[in-house]
Structure 1
Amino acid sequence: MMAVSQTDETDELLTCLRVQLYHPEARSVFDSLPMNLRHKQEAEDPMRLGRAAEACPFILNDTRVSRKQLALQAFRAPGSTEMRFNVQNLSRKAPVQVNGIELGHLVGAELPDKALIRFGRYELLVLREPGDSETHFEVLFECRSVPPSQEMGLGVPSSVAVMDSGDATLSWRDPSNEPSESDENL
């Protein structure tokens, strides 16, 4: 279970995942997320994000999001005390992009210290701030008013042609291409 991180008597510094979220309808879809508060997580428990409260501790209020959309899992490389993270796409219907690489259902990827995760009309800029704890980490959700891809110059993937009108149509941002999920257990 998640709990707000308190200042402990120990000098142990927790790795922090700053998750900067963007969606055009941010006010309604992020209402259930604990914004701007650091939450302590056990490293062996995956951090799940989706629309189903019974499956995910972090909820997006959006029927187009899968019940279980994605998971972030902490790990350590052999011989290292540094906590790193993998992302895994848990959705059967919607691909997840990590720094432009598409992940299908149950496909995972290691996150660099700065990663852009996209699905549907969502963009998550995930920043890892290192710490020295081997058992816990913190997550901090922050809302962005501008898409991180725009600030990073990643608005148009190189494989997408610009139409004669001058506008690029991005399938990951086109609402008509978003899956409308019901129950994935059917």
Structure 2
Amino acid sequence: MMNVSQQLETEEDLLPCLHIKLYHPQQSSKGLYELIPLGKRSKHPAEDPFRLGRDGQACTVALLDNRVSRKQLALQAYHTAKSPGMLFTIQNLSQKARLSVNSSALDFLEKIDLPDKALIRFGEYEMLIIRDSGEAKASFEVEFEVLTVPPSRETCACVPSITPVLDTGSFITNSLPGELRIIGPLETDETAICYS
């Protein structure tokens, strides 16, 4: 039988952390993030959903914006037998607005597993959530930061742009150096007649 002190989480346990980077096009002119503890980690119990929205009493963290739903979204921690680390789901709590997670749109009460790195959009807000793993089972940390440019611009900048050319079946990757550019057919049609 385990001792109670062996079951409790110790101070040395590395807590999983959700780094949440926020952006809104009018964030400099409004005090949207006044109620959010920016730049410092806050501990949160894993059994409770972490809610973000306009209502400071119903949500863990509140945005000062009347266009945000009272309860906008929830992050819920969970464990599986196959994964040693803490995993998370994200759920849309807004009846009025869709929530976008990378390229997946969520309607009211729909939820999806949160990837290690996710671009979240609702209204004019963009959030980049990056998950750091840890050994702790009973709690996790959340750290908020404000970005000066939209995270969608940052995440799209690292993806090579591919320009298809439909009439030849060729494509050119514009963002790669010359020696790495690929120019040529994507597939061949064996029934096409070639004249030389």
TM bucket normalised to smaller: 0.7 to 0.9
The CA deviation at 1:9 is: 6.8
Question: For 1:116 and 1:9, how far apart are their aligned partners in 2?
Answer: 32
The CA deviation at 1:10 is: 3.0
Which residue of 1 is the match for residue 15 of structure 2?
14
- The one of 35, 39, 49 equivalent to 2:38 is 35
Which residue of 2 is the match for residue 107 of structure 1?
110
The CA deviation at 1:80 is: 2.9
The total of aligned residue pairs comes to 147
Is the CA contact 1:81–1:134 (under 8 Å) kept in the aligned structure 2?
Answer: no
Identity %: 49
The CA deviation at 1:55 is: 0.5
Once the two structures are overlaid, the 10-residue window that deviates more, 15-24 or 73-82, is 73-82
Unpaired stretches in structure 2, ≥5 consecutive residues: 1-8, 158-196
Which residue of 1 is the match for residue 67 of structure 2?
64
The reply on whether 1:133 has 2:125 as its aligned counterpart is: no
The CA deviation at 1:110 is: 0.3
Greater RCO, 1 or 2 (C-alpha within 8 Å, sep 6+): 1
Matches within 5 A, 1:29-178: 29-153=32-156
Secondary structure, counterpart of 1:26 in structure 2 = coil
1:18-48 per-position Cα deviation (integer Å, ceiling 9, x unaligned): 0000011224111111101100000001000
Secondary structure, counterpart of 1:149 in structure 2 = helix
Larger Rg: 2
The CA deviation at 1:116 is: 0.5
TM-score using structure 2 length? 0.72
Which residue of 1 is the match for residue 24 of structure 2?
23
Root-mean-square deviation (CA, aligned residues, Å) is: 1.4
Letter in 1 for 2:97: A
Q: Following superposition, which runs of at least 4 residues in structure 1 exceed 4 angstroms of deviation?
A: none
Question: For 1:21 and 1:100, how far apart are their aligned partners in 2?
Answer: 18
